[in-house]
Structure 1
Amino acid sequence: MRKIWMLAALLLLPLAASAAEFREGVNYKVISSAPASAKPNATEFFSYYCPHCYVFSKKYIPQLEANLPAGMEFKQNHVDFIGKEMGKVMSRAFAISEVLGVTAQIEPLLFSEIHEKRHSFKSLEEVKAFYVANGVDAKKFEAAAGSFMVNSMVDSMSRATQNSGIEGVPAIIINDKYLIKNESLKSFEDMMELVTYLSTLP
């Protein structure tokens, strides 16, 4: 069974200077034999049901996005292996928010609803009601829910998750090739240094 995890120290330690020497197999894992993506990117694999992802989204994602190397894009990939069938529903909910351009608006509210208010969603219809209550047009939600774009994104996220080799979330993959080994890091600054280092690899 896949597990939900995040290095506790990474969530608790302040930024600290580091002169780490990064090594394959220790600090990162190569997940593809193909060349790194032509367009630099940092992809967060996450789940709305993961409490560590909730903390990470509040405390570190804004810093991560603000400090990425020039030209590097931040992306997210919702995994479907947490939450049983609702894991798949939440992946679709994320894809809908991306297609409608409301992720920045909805994501923190959805995380809070699940982890602070302890709301257990039971269906996509219930998720739709939550989106609508928070300003998303019901007809636009319905149109997006079964659209080609959302279906394609859901399939793409599922394939990316299977190909990533991740065992838990949150997980960060750089340029579709390098998986950061969270347990090897002592601080968030270590992570940013590793992100920068990996962005230069072929």
Structure 2
Amino acid sequence: MTKLFSALLLSMIVSLSANAAPYSDGNGYTTIKTPVRTNDPSKVEVTEIFWYGCSHCFTLEPITQAWKKNLPEDVDFNYLPAVFGRNWLAHAKAFHVADLLGIADKVHTPLFNAIHIERRNLNSEDTLANFFVDYGVSESEFRKQYNSFAVNSRLSQADAKIRAYGARGVPGLIVNGKYLVSAETAKGNNNIYKVVDFLIEKERQ
């Protein structure tokens, strides 16, 4: 009788373990203390906090691009450049310039490649202006946008959001303004979007 009870108990434990959620707060992701409002409440928002000069962001980029190819209709994805250091500012401004000009998708990956594969020094307004010329943006137009009120406003908004998220490094994925996923919490870049997918489903429910 005791053996039968032990066997049944073991079976229940195994069954519960199999059905347990694979991730939880502190295991895969971190819950943000105060949820941050998203742009569209009808969708699940996924935001990647990044820096073009970050080697980890660079290695995550092809994984991100592959994941985005199968982006569900009820999920919004966007990038958010961080400025955690003085030399991060030029890259953040470059992203916002590209976004304002409608060429963010066109220059995003090439900018990563130029920095990490071609080893180009793209840390200033002058060098970035030359880079953008190759993508059909005149130097004068680039400089106009680079120093515009619109770009500076976006920098301030991004900084406020990142502080609200409690993010302290890159890359970081924010799911619906509620959860922060990093390579550290997910135990590697390859697992980041597994955790993100889990959290998307959690938000749908």
Q: Same fold (TM over 0.5)?
A: yes
Residue 192 of structure 1 and its aligned partner are, at CA, apart by 4.5
> Could you tell me which residue of structure 1 aligns to residue 76 of structure 2?
73
* Structure 2 residue 168 is matched with structure 1 residue 167: yes
> Could you tell me which residue of structure 2 aligns to residue 53 of structure 1?
57
- Change in Cα spacing, 1:198 to 1:50, as seen in structure 2 (3 Å) is farther
Q: 2-side partners of 1:41 and 1:85: how far apart?
A: 28
- Change in Cα spacing, 1:122 to 1:141, as seen in structure 2 (3 Å) is same
Residue 182 of structure 1 and its aligned partner are, at CA, apart by 3.3
3-state SS of the aligned residue for 1:120?
coil
- Change in Cα spacing, 1:191 to 1:30, as seen in structure 2 (3 Å) is closer
Residue 116 of structure 1 and its aligned partner are, at CA, apart by 0.9
3-state SS of the aligned residue for 1:33?
coil
Q: 2-side partners of 1:122 and 1:63: how far apart?
A: 28
- Change in Cα spacing, 1:150 to 1:23, as seen in structure 2 (3 Å) is same
* Structure 2 residue 200 is matched with structure 1 residue 196: yes
Residue 184 of structure 1 and its aligned partner are, at CA, apart by 4.3
- Change in Cα spacing, 1:181 to 1:104, as seen in structure 2 (3 Å) is closer
Residue 122 of structure 1 and its aligned partner are, at CA, apart by 4.1
> Could you tell me which residue of structure 2 aligns to residue 143 of structure 1?
144
Post-superposition Cα deviations, 1:176-201, rounded to whole Å, max 9, x if no partner, equal: 22112433436546234323234336
Q: 2-side partners of 1:148 and 1:40: how far apart?
A: 30
> Could you tell me which residue of structure 2 aligns to residue 102 of structure 1?
103
Q: 2-side partners of 1:145 and 1:36: how far apart?
A: 27
Moved more, 28-37 or 148-157: 28-37
Structure 2, unpaired ranges of 5+: 1-19
Residue 28 of structure 1 and its aligned partner are, at CA, apart by 1.9
Residue 69 of structure 1 and its aligned partner are, at CA, apart by 3.9
Residue 34 of structure 1 and its aligned partner are, at CA, apart by 3.7
Normalising to structure 2: TM-score of the pair? 0.77
Could you tell me whether the CA contact under 8 Å between 1:174 and 1:198 is conserved in 2? no
% identical equivalent positions: 27
Could you tell me whether the CA contact under 8 Å between 1:68 and 1:192 is conserved in 2? no
In structure 2, what residue type is equivalent to 1:170?
P
Could you tell me whether the CA contact under 8 Å between 2:97 and 2:151 is conserved in 1? yes
- Change in Cα spacing, 1:195 to 1:63, as seen in structure 2 (3 Å) is farther
> Could you tell me which residue of structure 1 aligns to residue 120 of structure 2?
119
Q: 1-side partners of 2:111 and 2:53: how far apart?
A: 10
Q: 1-side partners of 2:194 and 2:134: how far apart?
A: 40
- Change in Cα spacing, 1:75 to 1:183, as seen in structure 2 (3 Å) is same
Normalising to structure 1: TM-score of the pair? 0.78
- Change in Cα spacing, 1:179 to 1:192, as seen in structure 2 (3 Å) is closer
In structure 2, what residue type is equivalent to 1:125?
D
Q: Looking at both structures, which has the greater relative contact order when contacts are Cα pairs under 8 Å and sequence separation is at least 6?
A: 1
> Could you tell me which residue of structure 1 aligns to residue 157 of structure 2?
156
